[in-house]
Structure 1
Amino acid sequence: MQIGLRTIKTALGAVIAMVIAYEFHLSYWATAGIVTILSVQNTTKYSFRLAGSRIVSAALAFLIATLSFRFLGFNPWAYGIFLLIFIPLAMRLQLQEGIVVSAVLVTHFLLQRSYSWHWISNELALLLIGVGVALVFNLFMPSLQSQIKGFQRLTEDDLTNILKNMQAQFTGEETSADSWTRLGHLLNTIRTGREWSNRQQDNQLFIENDFYRSYFEMRRNQYEMLRQMQTNLDLINLPLAQSEHVEVLLEKAAATVAKPNAAKHLVKTVVKIQSDFDGQPLPTTREEFENRAHLYLFLLDFETLLTLKADFYEKVTWVR
């Protein structure tokens, strides 16, 4: 059995919250521990949003409960009317995260048959202690950078191998099957890496650096270009004069996948090949025309693939 960090934080936080509430001589002091259990989250930013939502939700609940108990008395029917009004209103105001906690706190008014300031302040104190302890513990989040870098390396390995396989396909040494398999793996890796980078970003309360989130978004766009390139490559079935130049370019691109700002000179080379392409004699057969059209589309997508990377490293701060 493995005990994770969140479990440890939840257990320790609940104990500390109950001890604090007990030392302040609050009634129903164990409730502070329950609030902490419900408030410990996976990301720092979400825990702060949750805390704010629960405080506003509690204030709304106390107001509705006070009116309900005042006019209907302290009985289960009054509590039911409170829930009928409070829950839809909280949902409408997007305060649904605070419904359970607020409903529990209001039961103390019912049990004590009072909504005096003493009991309102008691419940607010329980809420603030529980939420506050959870916030303190949620400030301590492990860095996910090593895991994210791992997905970055996997992404670059897949990109490198796909480009190498495309180069081999031009020479007839490989088929497209391996590229399509790697494209599927690449997409899954990018998605997972983006999820981890989003989680890491949500744990950075005071530091804003979305390099990895932007990085995986750039790679996701490159994936689309690679998929279109592979589709057009599969439709080329004749040797073409430009093939040798494209093979060299693919080899260079594969060798520089992981290098920042290494795409600019490759973009210029693609543009030159396209210019030379336009200067070639017109095709004499339909099949040659179709093959050249697919190669031209391949080069357009290849240019976009390289431009996406070049633009990315111009706009973001590189994280080593």
Structure 2
Amino acid sequence: MKIGLRTIKTALGAVIAMVLAYELRLDYWATAGIITILSVQNTTRYSFSVAGLRIGATILSFALAIFSFWLLGFNPWAFGLFLLLFIPLAMQLHLQEGIVVSAVLVTHFLLQKSYSWHWLSNEFTLMLIGVGVALIFNLFMPSLMAQIKGFQQAVEDELRQILLQMAQQLAETPKVETWQHLGTLLTTIRKGREWASRQQDNQLLVENDFYRSYFEMRRNQYEMLRQMQANLDQITLSLKESTAIRELLAETAAHIAQPQKIKHLQKSVAKLQNTFDQAPLPTNRAEFESRAHLYLFLLDFETLLTLAGDFYEKVVLTEK
């Protein structure tokens, strides 16, 4: 049985919240621990968001509870009226995160048959202790950089493999499983972006969106690779331009993790496009179609490099 960090934080936070509430001589002090359990979240930023929503929901629930109990007295019918008013209004105000906790606090008014200042302050203090302890514990989040860099490496390895397979297909190597690798690439990109988002949401004072933007750039490159492969599958003839493109694909694969090489690769693509423009016209339909698909392949290849170039140029400008 594995006990994770969140479980440890939840258990320890609940104990501390209950001890604090007990030492402050609050009634229903155990409720503070329950609120802490419900308030420990996966990311720091989301924890702060939930805390604000629950405090807002608590204030709204107290106002509606006072009205309901004043109108119908302290009985289940009044509590039912409170829920009829509170739940839809909380949903409309996007305070649904606080519905359950606030309803539990309001039951204390019902049990005590009072909404005096003593009970209002007692319940509100329980809420503050519960969410406050959860917030403090959620400030301590482990770094996810090791996992994120692992996904980054996996993405670059897949990109390298795909580019080399495309080069092999241009060399008429049979049975190249590029589409399978494209599927794996997309899955890895999605996982990497999820972990990068979690890491970013755990940083309250530091704004560094590099890795989330990085995986988004790779996601856009994936779309270009799909289009490149679709055009590659339509090429039925061996063309003289294929050799230069194979070499360029291999060179790109070798330098996939080296941003400083992108401009050189873009210039090489531009030269190839110029070669296409100056080449003699096709002599038959099959050659025309194959050259057309190869030219479209080259245009998408240029876009793939441009996406990376624009991303890294933006990173350099941001650092400056």
The TM-score bracket by the shorter chain reads over 0.9
Q: Could you list the per-position Cα deviations for residues 79-117 of structure 1 after superposition, in whole angstroms to 9, with x for gaps in the alignment?
A: 000000000000000000000000000011001110011
State the match for 1:242 in structure 2. 241
State the match for 1:74 in structure 2. 74
1:261 partner letter: Q
Query: Structure 1 residue 198: deviation in Å?
Result: 0.7
Query: Structure 1 residue 276: deviation in Å?
Result: 1.1
* TM, length-normalised to structure 2: 0.98
2:72 partner letter: L
Query: Structure 1 residue 268: deviation in Å?
Result: 1.1
Q: CA RMSD for the aligned pairs?
A: 1.1
Query: Structure 1 residue 175: deviation in Å?
Result: 3.2
Question: 1:224 and 1:5 mapped to 2: Cα distance?
Answer: 37
Unaligned runs of 5+ in 1: none
Q: Equivalences for 1:103-142 in 2 at 5 Å?
A: 103-142=103-142
State the match for 2:12 in structure 1. 12
Contact 1:14 1:33 in 2 (8 A): yes
1:148 partner letter: I
Q: Equivalences for 1:271-282 in 2 at 5 Å?
A: 271-282=270-281
2:92 partner letter: R
2:102 partner letter: S
1:239 partner letter: S
Question: 1:103 and 1:263 mapped to 2: Cα distance?
Answer: 59
The alignment-based identity, stated in percent, is: 69
Query: Structure 1 residue 173: deviation in Å?
Result: 2.5
Q: Equivalences for 1:1-320 in 2 at 5 Å?
A: 1-176=1-176, 178-316=177-315
Query: Structure 1 residue 124: deviation in Å?
Result: 0.6
2:279 partner letter: Q
**SS in structure 2 opposite 1:130?**
helix
1:197 partner letter: A
Question: 1:53 and 1:174 mapped to 2: Cα distance?
Answer: 59
Question: 2:259 and 2:72 mapped to 1: Cα distance?
Answer: 69
Q: Could you list the per-position Cα deviations for residues 120-140 of structure 1 after superposition, in whole angstroms to 9, with x for gaps in the alignment?
A: 000010000000000000000
Query: Structure 1 residue 174: deviation in Å?
Result: 4.2
Contact 1:165 1:174 in 2 (8 A): no
1:225 partner letter: M
Question: 1:11 and 1:221 mapped to 2: Cα distance?
Answer: 42
Query: Structure 1 residue 260: deviation in Å?
Result: 2.0
Question: 1:301 and 1:165 mapped to 2: Cα distance?
Answer: 16
Query: Structure 1 residue 261: deviation in Å?
Result: 3.1
Query: Structure 1 residue 272: deviation in Å?
Result: 1.0
Question: 2:32 and 2:51 mapped to 1: Cα distance?
Answer: 13
Contact 1:163 1:250 in 2 (8 A): yes
- The structure-2 alpha-carbon separation of the partners of 1:174 and 1:154, relative to structure 1 and needing over 3 Å to count, comes to farther
Question: 1:37 and 1:239 mapped to 2: Cα distance?
Answer: 65
Question: 2:121 and 2:182 mapped to 1: Cα distance?
Answer: 59
1:241 partner letter: K
Query: Structure 1 residue 241: deviation in Å?
Result: 1.6
Question: 1:199 and 1:28 mapped to 2: Cα distance?
Answer: 35
Unaligned runs of 5+ in 2: none
2:214 partner letter: Y
Which ranges of 4 or more aligned residues in structure 1 deviate by more than 2 Å? 173-176
1:200 partner letter: Q
2:282 partner letter: P
Contact 1:233 1:294 in 2 (8 A): yes
**SS in structure 1 opposite 2:259?**
coil
